[in-house]
Structure 1
């Protein structure tokens, strides 16, 4: 819910927000260059946003994923990805690493989570997934702090 008393921090400091947008473009390019497909990139953004409870980013990236051809069932079961057969082993590794980076306050990125990713992803992919999670966590915090409106 939008609170008119909240400062929209992206508008209050537009240069900072523009720098985040520029970082976003670089992270997306690096992820694609590392071999992460556009659907996986959107799923990772959605998963971080689910964990952070960012309705604004959830709506945006779900729409983006659907426009790019993502299966609605995969989006629907994303919070329970570990219990489904919808995701490849590499996608599972990327989701697990995204969750670990997003939940860093729960005990850092464990060796178990990192090693699971390293067993299936290249170093470039590990870096790209990590940067995507870092980026989405930043965007989620901007939207949540400012209470970006999400209306039906």
Structure 2
């Protein structure tokens, strides 16, 4: 059940959000499977069932390992995640929860071991955009 329909209620804002998502997909530095993994983790943290369902399907469509998706809530203690994925997931959690500047700095140092500045910038935008979509999804949908 929908509370309101964002694309109908605010078509120009919706178009801008879709445009940003499209640009993130064009000439991306981030592999689609990693992007999906990050979007799923951010959606889990934000309790956005609608976005989690959508990005879980995208992860599968891009050939993502279903076991990895199952273990995503426990990625810190689970096998099967690369060091780069761990750094990106930690960054996603830090930017989503924003606990402290010291924690953000620590996460960023780990991220720099695996990603270049343009990749970090893109990852940050993916995370920020997913947080925005989550909040819009939560505002619109009572159930996913």
What is the TM-score when the length of structure 2 is the normalising length? 0.92
Quick one: distance in 2 between partners of 1:148 and 1:127?
Answer: 33
Alignment partner, residue 10 of structure 1: 7
* Corresponding residue for residue 124 of structure 2: 130
In 2 relative to 1, CA 148–8 (structure 1 residues): closer, same or farther, beyond 3 Å?
farther
Indicate yes or no: 2:39 matched with 1:45. yes
- Please give the per-residue CA displacement for 1:61-83, whole angstroms capped at 9, x wherever unaligned: 10111111111100000011111
CA deviation vs aligned residue, 1:86-118 (integer Å, no higher than 9, x gap):
1111111111111111112x3356211111111
Corresponding residue of 1:19: 16
Structure 1 consecutive aligned stretches of length 4 or more whose deviation exceeds 6 Å: none
* 1:29 match: 26
Q: Provide TM-score, normalisation by structure 1.
A: 0.87
The answer as to 2:93 corresponding to 1:86 is no
Name the SS for the 1:82 alignment partner. Answer: coil
Instruction: State how many pairs are aligned.
Output: 143
1:75 matches 2:72: no
Distance 2:128 2:14 in 1: 15
Q: CA RMSD, aligned part only?
A: 1.5
Is contact 2:33–2:63 with CA below 8 Å preserved after alignment?
A: yes
- Tell me how far apart the structure 1 counterparts of residues 122 and 79 of structure 2 sit (CA, whole Å): 24
Q: Which runs of 5+ in 2 are unaligned?
A: none
List gaps (5 residues or longer) in structure 1. Answer: none
